[in-house]
Chain A
Amino acid sequence: MEMTSNGPAVVTLPTDTEILITREFDAPRFLVYRAWTTPELIKRWWAGDRGVVTSAEVDLRPGGSWRYVMTANGGFEVAFHGVYREVVPGERLVSTEVFEGMPDAQAVSTTTFTEQDGRTTLSVLVLHQNKENRDAHINSGMEAGMQESMNHLEEVARSLS
């Protein structure tokens, strides 16, 4: 445990169609904003432990688009894209968000950066069009995990045959 005292993400479901993700960082907000919006830096965190980010494109202006692509550990590709609606540098971003495997399910996410005493609270509110899409979004993490388990299971099965 060399790691951080900043704790886990907190995910809540304020309504049937929303997901709220919050986390505090030990850094001023202009740096959190930079880590959040700079392609080279996004590549270092967006996949978490679940794969490798192969592409991060960011055209950071209202009407500009973004697209993130990762290759998950299971070998499959996961891509999201969207269009920025509001860009208030260091403070607030509003953008659309579409998972490319489910192109009709467009969400709108509002990301805010609030600084106090040199620490920054990041808050991401994702608003979906309906509960089904919201649930599918929540399920995304589990799908990746399940895929890994399936691959593992397949290996075991093959070794037995």
Chain B
Amino acid sequence: MPIWTYDFTMARAATTTDAFNAVAEPRRRQILDAVAAGELSVSDLVALLGLPQPLVSKHLRVLREVGLVTARDDGRLRLYRLNGFALKPIYDWVKDFEDLWSERFARMDIVLAELKQATPEITEDGDDSDGDDE
């Protein structure tokens, strides 16, 4: 029996406060994109995204809780910026899937090198759809 559970959501976290959940919300991804370009205040973000200030603040709170943004006070302003390191689990998560495809494609390269050897002169062959002899 396959033990291949595909049970990502359950296995990952009972909590709603990890980076994966934080970036699941499109508004929060917009905020991350914005602060990735440089430090911004709440009012900068309100102006940039056209969202009500309480909503921006709420999303920023979630992002801070999971460490995706950090804040520092500059006089009366609180400035937020991206903490890229907190995105690493997401990067790692996608990377493994990407690795699988890289492995597949590396093997296709070998197959293709052989096919090129076997069919050296062909340049265009539009109706090459079905079962050639092997």
- Is B26 a contact of A34 with CB atoms below 8 Å? no
- Is A101 a contact of B9 with CB atoms below 8 Å? no
Give CA–CA (A118, B87) in the complex, Å: 38
Contacts of B108 in A (CB 8 A): 25, 32, 35-36, 45
Contacts of B112 in A (CB 8 A): 25-27, 31-32, 35
Distance (whole angstroms) from the CB of B87 to the closest CB of chain A: 13
B128 interfacial by beta-carbon distance below 8 Å = yes
- Is A138 a contact of B93 with CB atoms below 8 Å? yes
| Closest chain A residue to B99, Cβ basis | A141
Give CA–CA (A44, B113) in the complex, Å: 13
Known: A30-B125, A35-B108. A23 touches B101 (CB 8 A): yes
B85 interfacial by beta-carbon distance below 8 Å = no
Give CA–CA (A25, B1) in the complex, Å: 36
Of B4, B100, B115, B126, which is within 8 A of A48 by CB? B100
- Is A9 a contact of B128 with CB atoms below 8 Å? no
| Closest chain B residue to A32, Cβ basis | B112
Give CA–CA (A132, B12) in the complex, Å: 12
Distance (whole angstroms) from the CB of A28 to the closest CB of chain B: 7
Contacts of B17 in A (CB 8 A): none
- Chain A interface residue count, Cβ-Cβ cutoff 8 angstroms: 62
Known: A27-B112, A138-B94. A48 touches B134 (CB 8 A): no
Q: Is the interface of B mostly helix, strand, loop or mixed?
A: helix
Known: A27-B116, A33-B128. A143 touches B4 (CB 8 A): yes
Distance (whole angstroms) from the CB of A52 to the closest CB of chain B: 12
Known: A23-B101, A90-B126, A141-B99. A13 touches B94 (CB 8 A): yes
Distance (whole angstroms) from the CB of A34 to the closest CB of chain B: 6
Contacts of A48 in B (CB 8 A): 100-104, 107
Residue positions of A touching B, CB distance < 8 A: 3-4, 6, 8-11, 13, 16, 19, 21, 23, 25-28, 30-36, 38, 40-41, 44-50, 60, 72, 74, 76-78, 87, 89-90, 99-102, 105, 122, 131-132, 135-145, 147
Additional 18 contacts, C-beta under 8 A, given A25-B109, A35-B112, A44-B107? A10-B98, A13-B94, A27-B116, A31-B116, A32-B108, A33-B128, A35-B108, A35-B111, A36-B108, A60-B129, A74-B3, A87-B129, A89-B128, A90-B128, A139-B8, A142-B93, A142-B96, A147-B3
| 20 pairs, A vs B, C-beta closer than 8 Å | A8-B99, A16-B24, A21-B101, A28-B123, A28-B124, A34-B115, A35-B108, A35-B111, A38-B132, A50-B100, A72-B4, A78-B2, A87-B129, A89-B126, A90-B126, A131-B24, A139-B6, A140-B6, A140-B97, A141-B100
